[in-house]
């Protein structure tokens, strides 16, 4: 299968970057697509989540691997990405939620696509705009925006207008996929077990659109 390096990134915290990265890895694996996840975040949330699950149930075979990437050494980052480019499948990289790490530039340049989780509150929209501007000066990767943790009860005219305006703007620089509604099932993600029906229902439309946009096929 053709190699793809896809980032999950934004500079705004709390948008569900790690959660969606993990769920997308599971979704790809369950659809027969080879996938590996790289945790490049200093907090190592994805890697630690896998460790907790394997410690609790060491006999379960992981459906996809999680590896840590130390971004403090630029030469090491470049070397690892060169090797990842040879992986026959999809490489997902959970990036730090900031732009302070100078070696992120190496990761950004290597990416084929960047999935950017976001919500429609003013702070997140502003932060996403800052991220887009910085990212596009470095990388030619396709941008995919995934509205996440969206409350379907928010239907005031001003809220709907703001959403529509944001989607229109983001559509000028990338692809906006169907939203992922706020729900407990998505928050309770797992890196070790199969997705349940509620998780799949919540993310399927968005994930299928990501796969279509970034040309991810078996």
Short-list 92, 89, 82, CA closest to 117: 92
Architecture field, domain 4-213: 3-Layer(aba) Sandwich (3.40)
Say what angle helices 197-213 and 17-30 make with each other, to 10 degrees. Answer: 90
pLDDT in tens, the chain (218 residues): 789 999 999 999 889 999 999 999 999 999 999 999 999 998 999 999 999 999 999 999 999 999 999 999 999 999 999 999 999 999 999 998 888 888 999 999 999 999 999 999 999 999 999 999 999 999 999 999 999 998 877 777 888 888 899 999 999 999 999 999 999 999 999 999 999 999 999 999 999 999 999 999 87
Q: pTM of the entire structure?
A: 0.96
Q: Where are the domains of the chain?
A: 4-213
> What is d(CA 211, CA 24) in angstroms, rounded to the nearest whole number?
10
How many C-beta neighbours within 10 Å does residue 115 have? 29
């Amino acid at each position: 299968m053709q190699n793809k390096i896809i980032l999950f990134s934004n500079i705004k915290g709390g948008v569900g970057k790690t959660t969606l990265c993990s769920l997308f890895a599971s979704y790809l694996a369950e659809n027969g697509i080879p996938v590996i996840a790289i945790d490049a975040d200093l907090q190592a949330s994805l890697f630690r989540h896998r460790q907790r699950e394997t410690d609790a149930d060491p006999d379960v075979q992981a459906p996809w691997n999680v590896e840590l990437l130390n971004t403090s050494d630029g030469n090491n980052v470049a070397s690892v990405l060169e090797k990842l480019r040879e992986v026959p499948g999809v490489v997902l990289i959970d990036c730090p939620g900031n732009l302070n790490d100078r070696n992120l530039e190496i990761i950004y340049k290597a990416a084929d696509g960047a999935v950017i989780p976001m919500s429609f509150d003013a702070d997140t929209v502003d932060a996403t705009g800052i991220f887009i501007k910085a990212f596009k000066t470095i990388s030619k990767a396709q941008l995919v925006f995934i509205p996440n943790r969206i409350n379907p009860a928010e239907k005031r005219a001003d809220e709907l207008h703001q959403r529509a305006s944001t989607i229109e703007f983001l559509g000028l620089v990338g692809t906006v996929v169907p939203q992922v509604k706020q729900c407990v099932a998505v928050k309770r993600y797992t890196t070790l077990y199969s997705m349940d029906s509620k998780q799949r229902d919540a993310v399927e439309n968005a994930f299928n659109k990501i796969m279509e946009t970034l040309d991810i096929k078996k």
